[in-house]
Amino acid sequence: MLKMLHPVAGAIALLTISTFWLSTLFAELFGSEAFVVSVKTTIPWGFFVLVPALMATGGTGFVLSKGSRAGVIGAKLKRMPLIAANGLLVLIPAALFLASKARAGEFDTAFYVVQALEILAGATNITLLGLNMRDGLRLKGRLRRAPA
């Protein structure tokens, strides 16, 4: 069961963060102000999907690692605190701040500074989760290493 839950939860987390990130980028680059407001105020509701998916991914990954800290498993485990800290300390507060500012129609300098930070932090988490997914696929033999 854990062997199935871990990759499914990880994929849901990666897809959710990617959806947030792409929606934000698309709204900011091509959308109207109303579309930006819609995207920014909808993202916090996605936390009800994202947070449990990340918790399930981290918890099942810890159990599946069976205490191993070496090699690919060690690399995955080292990334998880960075992913969690980035999410808890940057992405969630930024999303809540931006939703509040957007709801109030306050598209000022603070909004755009935090928006830029959120885009950078989101790209970082997408990259780290993508690396963990790649390593998980390698562990299961579903992805081969590129020839040297």
List domains and CATH numbers for the chain: 2-139 (1.20.120)
Q: How far apart are CA 140 and CA 148, in angstroms?
A: 20
Q: Which residue has the tokens 């963990």?
A: 132
Q: How far apart are CA 58 and CA 67, in angstroms?
A: 13
- The 10s digit of each residue's pLDDT in 70-122 is 888 888 888 988 999 999 999 999 999 999 999 999 999 999 999 999 999 99
Task: Look at residue 81 and give its three-state secondary structure.
Answer: helix
pLDDT recorded at residue 146: 60
Is pLDDT of 42 > 90?
Answer: yes
Q: Which residue has the tokens 């499914």?
A: 8
- The residues near 27 (Cβ < 8 Å, ≥ 6 apart) are 35, 36, 38, 39, 40
